[in-house]
């Protein structure tokens, strides 16, 4: 084990995969200077500009070239800098990469990773703060990953690079500096579709992913002080998502709260809530609840930004109300 930041764990994962497989390569803007957040620092010097490649400022060109390269046998890792900027390349991802395997009858695959940093971070305002994971979960053919810890950022990125399907890999910007123990095994992988129990409990189930997992865990600690034991589940990937683990937990607790940073309207929390209601509706002790941001742009000013966050106190209040 080594103690690494979330950012450094992702960089270690990419470095190990570049060393392991000569077909792996990275492309994006600013990679030659280490990436906009430093997550590629030193990789161009180690592997050369052909393996860690700078690209012109055109997201559509970057992703379009990578889709073609993936279909002809390589494994590109595409850096989009911000998930907001990746919208310039949605056609290449949604209409080409996601559908190629189906449209060619399995004769072509697109082993592609699209790294899209998400979420609110340091007053980044409306065009740099979005969490758009539910958009991609809606698209058949895409895997959608949202790691919450340094260990998962290493193991899931390695799994994404080895995956034969296109993976939208969403790293939360506010987690870059988070440090924890990370396995140094070069074959350490975290499979998609396997949720993680962050904290056990029998009174209520709280389901989340990405940075919101840590807010949910803090809320569970506060609830424990009130004598309420909430089980916190980190989905890790939202497609595929671990339905069975969530259903098993809610079957025990009888209560479910889904919380995420993304806008609540049509957020992925609605899919989880609907699935649990359909499967366990009559056995629930209280209606399913979900918390998400209001349907509003993220402001630049910190107080405005805070107004759209789902806070620890909001989660505590929701679970406390459910217990009544």
The catalytic site residues sit at 128
Which ranges constitute the DSSP H helices of 225-261?
243-253
Helix (H, G, I), strand (E, B) or coil at 182: strand
Which ranges constitute the DSSP H helices of the chain?
6-20, 43-47, 59-71, 90, 98-103, 133-137, 150-162, 212-224, 243-253, 268-280, 302-307, 312-323
Question: What is the side-by-side order of every strand in the sheet holding 75-79?
Answer: 52-54, 24-28, 75-79, 113-115, 167-169, 143-145, 237-239
- The CA radius of gyration of the chain, in Å to the nearest whole number, is 20
Structure token digits, residue 112: 């592609």
Spatial separation of the C-alpha atoms in residues 267 and 169, rounded to whole Å: 17
Question: Measured on CA atoms in the order 99, 102, 104, 110, is the torsion positive or negative?
Answer: positive
Question: Measured on CA atoms in the order 273, 278, 280, 283, is the torsion positive or negative?
Answer: positive
């Amino acid at each position: 084990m080594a103690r690494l930041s979330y950012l450094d764990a992702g960089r270690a994962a990419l470095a190990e995969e570049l060393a392991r497989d000569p077909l792996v390569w990275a492309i994006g803007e600013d990679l030659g200077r280490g990436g906009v957040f430093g997550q590629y620092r030193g990789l161009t010097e180690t592997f050369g500009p052909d393996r860690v490649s700078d690209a012109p400022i055109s997201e559509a060109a970057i992703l379009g070239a990578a889709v073609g390269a993936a279909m002809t046998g390589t494994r590109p890792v595409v850096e989009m800098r911000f998930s907001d900027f990746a919208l310039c390349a949605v056609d290449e991802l949604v209409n080409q990469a996601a559908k190629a395997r189906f449209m060619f009858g399995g004769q072509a695959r697109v082993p592609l990773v699209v790294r899209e940093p998400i979420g609110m971070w340091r007053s980044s305002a409306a065009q740099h703060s979005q969490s758009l994971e539910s958009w991609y979960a809606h698209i058949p053919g895409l895997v959608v990953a949202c790691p919450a810890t340094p260990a998962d950022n290493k193991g899931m990125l390695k799994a994404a690079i080895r995956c034969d399907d296109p993976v939208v890999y969403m790293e939360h910007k506010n987690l870059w500096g988070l440090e924890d123990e990370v396995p140094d095994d070069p074959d350490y992988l975290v499979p998609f579709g396997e949720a993680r129990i962050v904290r056990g409990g029998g009174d209520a189930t709280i389901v989340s992913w990405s940075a919101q997992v840590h807010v949910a865990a803090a809320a569970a600690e506060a609830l424990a002080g009130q004598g309420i034991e909430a089980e916190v589940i980190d989905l890790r990937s939202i497609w595929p998502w671990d339905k069975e683990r969530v259903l098993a937990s809610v079957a025990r607790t009888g209560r479910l709260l889904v919380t995420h940073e993304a806008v609540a309207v049509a957020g992925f929390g609605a899919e989880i809530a609907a699935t649990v209601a359909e499967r366990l509706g009559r056995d629930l002790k209280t209606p399913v609840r979900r918390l998400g941001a209001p349907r509003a742009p993220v402001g630049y000013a910190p107080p405005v930004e805070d107004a759209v966050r789902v806070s620890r106190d909001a989660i505590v209040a929701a679970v406390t109300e459910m217990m009544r």
